[in-house]
Amino acid sequence: MEDKILIFTDLDGTLLSENSYSYYKIIDFYNYISSHCIIIFNSSKTYSEIIELKRLTNDNYPFIVENGSALYIPENVSLNIPGKITKINNFNVVQLGVPVNKIVNFCSSKKLSEKYVSNCNFLYQMSLSKIVSLTGLNRSEVKKAKERNYSLPFIWRGSIELLNEFKLICQKNNFKILKGGRFFHLIGETDKGKALRALLSIYKQCHKNTRFTTIALGDNQNDKDMLIEADFAGIVKSESKSLMNFRRSKNVFISEKISPEGWKEVLVKMPPIKNLL
């Protein structure tokens, strides 16, 4: 039986520097690992943002957008995908979340708008210059970040108590609020862990004689679901946030360095990766 490693990785603050959004410091290590493992970006980023990064990594691996909302699988990858798919450019797309217009419609009710939505400063409502100042992205990158198909990122201006109320209302209506690095994200009833399970299931169905080992790498609260799901979990130290509260004791590796060096640091500690070095 063949062994294969699937690495599900967050991007900003995990693989990419929180400030420069680059991984050039570990590019040789990244390329080596990419030649031996399937590296799957599992990010809050949009399709447009990840496609731009894919031009640098130059691989043919699937990726996951907007906090587990959709799987993008290249058409020329030999995976038979069950259920309904959509074709976008050269990708087969499996939707796990909900279209963004449904989220907008949910937020437009008068009752929600007056008490909760009025405390949300949504990304799509912000000017380009405002987002540039918040994120450090350039204007071209900001435009790609605003091209949301499945999520509404926002900055919360209300109290914690009011936010928790809003979260409960969202859950009752089959929506979810996740905390990312700079923004909260209002999405459908999905997450990065659900997306990991869905893509792993597709790989297993199509490669029955392959034994898959899963690794998840992240730095933030919205990464917890995939960190719990994976066989091995790597937590990359954050420059701006305290270490996440994470209830798992086995096969968890934590970096001393921040991204991108922390990405390499946690991987080289893991037995499946040690065997490749």
Q: Give the end-to-end CA distance of the chain in Å, rounded to a whole number.
A: 21
CB contact at 8 A, 67 and 194: no
CB contact at 8 A, 268 and 46: no
CB contact at 8 A, 122 and 154: yes
Among residues 10, 12, 191, 223, the one annotated as catalytic is 10
CB contact at 8 A, 100 and 152: yes
Q: Is the dihedral of CA 260, 154, 89, 71 positive or negative?
A: positive
Closest by alpha carbon to 113, among 169, 191, 30?
169
Residue 35 to residue 24: CA distance in whole angstroms: 17
CB contact at 8 A, 30 and 261: no
Structure-block tokens of residue 164: 């928790």
Structure-block tokens of residue 21: 């959004």
SS3 content of the chain, % helix, strand, coil (to 5): 40, 25, 35
Q: Is the dihedral of CA 198, 202, 208, 214 positive or negative?
A: negative
* DSSP 8-state assignment for residue 184: E
10 included as an active-site residue? yes
Closest by alpha carbon to 99, among 122, 66, 127, 75?
66
Residues catalogued as catalytic: 10
